[in-house]
A and B are shown apart, each in its own frame.
Chain A
Amino acid sequence: MTPASKRFLPPEAIARIARLELRARAVVEGVLAGLHKSPYKGQSVEFLQHREYVRGDDLRRVDWKVWGRQDRLYIKEFEEETNLRLTLLVDGSASMDYRSGALSKYDYAATLAASLAWLALSHGDAVGCAVFDEKIRASVPARTKRSHLSSVVDVLETSRSNRPTAFGPVLRSLSETLPRRGMVVIISDLLGDREGVFQGMQFLRRRGHDLVLLHVMDEDELTFPFEGPTRFEGLELPEHIACNPRALREGYLAAIEEFLANARKRSAAARCDYSLIRTGEPVDAALVQFLSRRSSTAV
């Protein structure tokens, strides 16, 4: 761990905090100590910046003067004057139960989601949350009240299942039910219905949502460090394999690498902000990294 990273709370420390809300608070307090600008962009009376038009942008936000002068379509972005609608979609499927350290992938994802909710609510933004597997198990609509955080936390803490994931129907359903455009943050390991994820993201994107994909992976899943005779039993799949892991490591890592590359590529295609987050990293560090990226790309 570098000296800078020592500022962050290690997953082990977070794990010792039993309540998710307190975890989120601990994470956010650390984040806020070094972050003062809102990372969220939206419509506002105060001009923020121009950016090139991309397909799907609202034509009402095209700066026609610039078009008249330069014959190029630019979009005017303003500081949002109204609350941002942040929707947190947390994967609660069985595969998220894997843990190699103090936190399972779901624990990590929930902590991350609660922290984001805390930050958004503290900026007066509306935060909604849903936990899903093959369907949405629980959700709360977006609210701006600070007390809404407890509702979000309740959803995150109580809505677990051991079902496999089905992204497609969930995201399609969500795109139809979200009343306004906003930011949709998907926190998942993407194991399961991968094609459905990206199709669903296409739906959301067409609805004008700003998409963020936080891809949570356990360190073991990325490095496959196992040794000795091991029987692997699927958390979501019914298959099992009895093997010497190092014999399969090379092939596994190649498959994982291909999987991550595909996720990045498909995310970019869907104009989704993709971040790979390792559960071994401190949650606040992951949050700061994410927020920094968002700030640097904000219009």
Chain B
Amino acid sequence: MPTFDFFSLLWWGLPLAAAPILIHLINLLRHRKVQWAAMEFLLASQRKFRTRVLLKQILLLLLRIAAVLGIVLTLAQPRLRTALGQLLGGSRTAHVVLLDDSYSMSDLSAGGRIGESSAFDRGKLVVERICEELTAAEGRQELAVGRFSSLTGRKFDIERQTVTPQVVQMVRDELAGLVPSASDCGPREALAAAVEVLGEGTGAADVLWLVSDFRACDWKVADETAQLLRQLSDAGVELRLVDCAFGALGSTGSSADFGASNLSVERLEVVGGVPATGVLVPLEVAVRNNSQNVVRDVQVELREDGASRPGLRIPEIPAGSVAVQRFEARFPQAGSHLIDARVAADAVAVDNTRTAVIAVVDRVDVLVIDGDPRGGGRAADAFYLTAALAPGSGAPTGLRPRIEPPRAITTLDLMAFDCIWLLDVERLDPAEITALEGFARAGGGVVFFMGPRSRAEEINRTLYRDGEGLFPLPLAGPVDLLPEGKNQDPVPDVVVEEHPVVAVLSGQRNPLLDAVRIERFMAVDRSFDDSKEKMPGGVGVRRLLSLRTRAPLVVERPFGEGLVVAVLTTASPTWNNWARANPSWVVVMLEMESHLARVRRRAELLEVGDDFTVTLAARGDESEVDFLIPPDGTIVHQTAAVTPAGTLQATLRATLSAGAYQARWRRLDGSERERVVAVNVDPDEGRLERILREQLDRTLSGVKFQYDSAESLQPDANTFAGVSLVTPLLHALLCVLLLEQLLAYSASYHTTTKPWRYV
């Protein structure tokens, strides 16, 4: 089917085809009358030529309609896009345009200063220009247009189709509404999608247009990107790389050309503490300076649940560096709370804001498994531990210890706790061990305290299991810490190792910790060398505290997603004096609780483009979930489905914008539940450093490509083959008009110079 450059003309012009019919009908009413004497001869002639005259008139009418249609079609600039067009001399060319819409394309700083148009705006102009050139090109042109963000799902915005004015208009309409996404999508996924379209060889002269800002961060995995480009090049695809960030104001294209000024809020998160009501929660915000110059006096605006709160001031951020500021927040009510950090507007706006969601509860339950079957009263381990975790209303920690016997491990829902503390437990049943290991694997924290009831063999056999079990290291048995020689200088029994839990005690000698005396402890099996004990991934046993004899006192080892800590002495002042009126005991226990619970309390970190999944209770929740999407709270309704793993989940696919996403659903008892997550942009995308042309050449060594800036791009219409129907249509129109004239003369529709006479 032919297509038209000016399709709208058809709407105006085609009705004109009725004009000859109307004129014919009007002429029937406008016959001049002649009183005629020799009527019988005229009648005879009419009888003789009636059929011929009628045919001539019909043919003439059709020719005139055809002439009008021909003129209208010619003005509409038709193009033949069929196999006939190809036969007429054109060749088919397939163009795949990949438009980078990662948020770095919103950079307004091309040319070294902030302007009015972004790299993405220039990219859109490039795509429009390509479309216009394809329209003007001869031959059959096919076009597919896709944004990087769309192509991560292998979906082109404009699927491959023959270029027509309608398609061009469709592209224009599509482009008009596009803005850069908040995603960090690079060219790799887009190229992979292009390979699917072009790589198998389409029988056409294929052209790939990669319209991007060529940020260095997008080419981190240059090997894969280059491999895809090479694959396309080998398949005969012409590669056209169009640089939209090449400075319009005379940028050199060097790595020093990156943004005039772009700060990114790189991180905003809770760092320790207990997210409970009325408790100070420590947070950190990290701001990266992505520009080449030092940035001074950076104001960080903070908002808490939408309300402004005192901001932060960062005196100076060196070029390419990150500045971290800590602040605290106290939340009076339980629930999800939003903290937003924002820096002033700059070249790239998307990464200036970051959101954190803090799930605050009234109290955080801590499970304490007391190994003393009689309960120890004020002399028991549990007493000293709970006194440290929940000292009283005067010093709220947000923790609510719950002391239970070992059998509670199998009867309680362990997932309701962040940490489980086991105090001198004599033995655990396999079921209890399995539950504990499951809890730890899922991210929970487990702490073992030793004591008189602890038996090394039992622990090694059931909990350590040659490293396969929960316990971090094999034990030899309880031993006394020998006192120092009297001639020696006094040395503290406890040595602080490098670990965040005890960081507050590290550095200079701490008089509080110096006062701790360890009398007895559980020795580690001599065959075990914790410095060599590494788990897969390089993470092994890590010491928090050691004895002056270099024997481990407190060690930590990851187990699954969680952490397991073994304190090789008692919690109560049975084997030591630590818990007796030594403030460091409280500090270390609280820090340890916060550290062990960090995985469980870690807010879910989602980046734009990630899925937001809510897991529901199959027997307690309804399956209908409403997702509220920022910034305007648009509601997307989803029905949860059972996954192959058997869980009931509702998923919001491919988040598109940054902000706090909320999922709301009902429980079967009618109560409402919600879950809020923060979705932020990938801060790396805000690093506007661009890949050098030389680096690009090296990366794409052996790949034939053409590199243009958006401003200098001049697609050569002559390189696009195709057929315009205007010329053949003009010839046909000329023939029709000549034929019409001849027929009209023959059928007496032409006047001569001799004047017509009335009687």
- A contact residues vs B (CB 8 Å cutoff): 94-100, 105, 189, 191, 218, 220-221, 225-237, 239, 241-252, 254-256, 259
Main SS at interface, chain B:
mixed
B28 and A98 contact, CB distance less than 8 A: no
Chain B residues near A95: list those with CB within 8 A. Answer: 37-38
Beyond A98-B37, A220-B757, is A250–B28 a contact (Cβ under 8 Å)? no
Beyond A227-B752, A245-B748, is A97–B35 a contact (Cβ under 8 Å)? yes
Interface set, chain B 17-75, CB cutoff 8 A to A? 27-28, 30-46, 48-49, 53, 56-57
Q: Closest residue of chain B to A99, judged by CB?
A: B759
A226 and B35 contact, CB distance less than 8 A: no
Listed A/B pairs (25) with beta-carbon separation below 8 Å = A94-B37, A95-B38, A96-B37, A100-B759, A105-B37, A220-B759, A227-B750, A227-B754, A228-B751, A229-B31, A230-B33, A231-B32, A231-B34, A234-B37, A235-B37, A239-B39, A247-B56, A248-B42, A249-B45, A249-B748, A250-B49, A251-B45, A251-B46, A252-B41, A259-B41
Main SS at interface, chain A:
mixed
Interface set, chain B 150-203, CB cutoff 8 A to A? none
Of the candidates A100, A105, A229, A249, the one having the most CB atoms from chain B within 10 angstroms of its own CB is: A229
Beyond A226-B756, A227-B756, A229-B31, is A237–B45 a contact (Cβ under 8 Å)? no
Judge whether B747 is part of the interface by a CB distance below 8 angstroms: yes
Q: Closest residue of chain A to B52, judged by CB?
A: A247
> How near does chain A come to B21, taking the closest CB pair, in angstroms?
15
Chain A residues near B28: list those with CB within 8 A. Answer: 229, 242
A227 and B751 contact, CB distance less than 8 A: yes
Chain A residues near B33: list those with CB within 8 A. Answer: 230-231, 233
Chain A residues near B327: list those with CB within 8 A. Answer: none
> How near does chain B come to A194, taking the closest CB pair, in angstroms?
9
Q: How far is the CA of A250 from the CA of B46 in the complex (A)?
A: 10
Chain A residues near B750: list those with CB within 8 A. Answer: 227
Q: How far is the CA of A251 from the CA of B40 in the complex (A)?
A: 11
B749 and A244 contact, CB distance less than 8 A: yes
B32 and A228 contact, CB distance less than 8 A: yes
A255 and B31 contact, CB distance less than 8 A: no
Of the candidates B41, B46, B759, the one having the most CB atoms from chain A within 10 angstroms of its own CB is: B41
A246 and B35 contact, CB distance less than 8 A: no
Beyond A227-B752, A228-B756, A229-B27, is A241–B35 a contact (Cβ under 8 Å)? no
B757 and A237 contact, CB distance less than 8 A: no
Chain B residues near A229: list those with CB within 8 A. Answer: 27-28, 30-32
Chain B residues near A94: list those with CB within 8 A. Answer: 37
Beyond A243-B46, A252-B42, is A234–B748 a contact (Cβ under 8 Å)? no
A255 and B759 contact, CB distance less than 8 A: no
Q: How far is the CA of A239 from the CA of B47 in the complex (A)?
A: 13
Q: How far is the CA of A251 from the CA of B750 in the complex (A)?
A: 18
Q: Which of A233, A236, A242, A247 contacts B748 (CB 8 A)?
A: A247
Beyond A243-B53, A247-B49, is A218–B37 a contact (Cβ under 8 Å)? yes
A246 and B748 contact, CB distance less than 8 A: yes
Of the candidates B46, B748, B756, the one having the most CB atoms from chain A within 10 angstroms of its own CB is: B748
Given contacts A249-B45, A256-B38, 17 further A-B contacts (CB under 8 A): A220-B759, A231-B31, A231-B32, A231-B34, A234-B37, A236-B37, A243-B53, A244-B747, A244-B748, A245-B748, A246-B747, A247-B49, A247-B747, A248-B42, A250-B45, A252-B38, A259-B41
Q: How far is the CA of A229 from the CA of B37 in the complex (A)?
A: 18
Chain A residues near B57: list those with CB within 8 A. Answer: 244
Chain A residues near B48: list those with CB within 8 A. Answer: 251
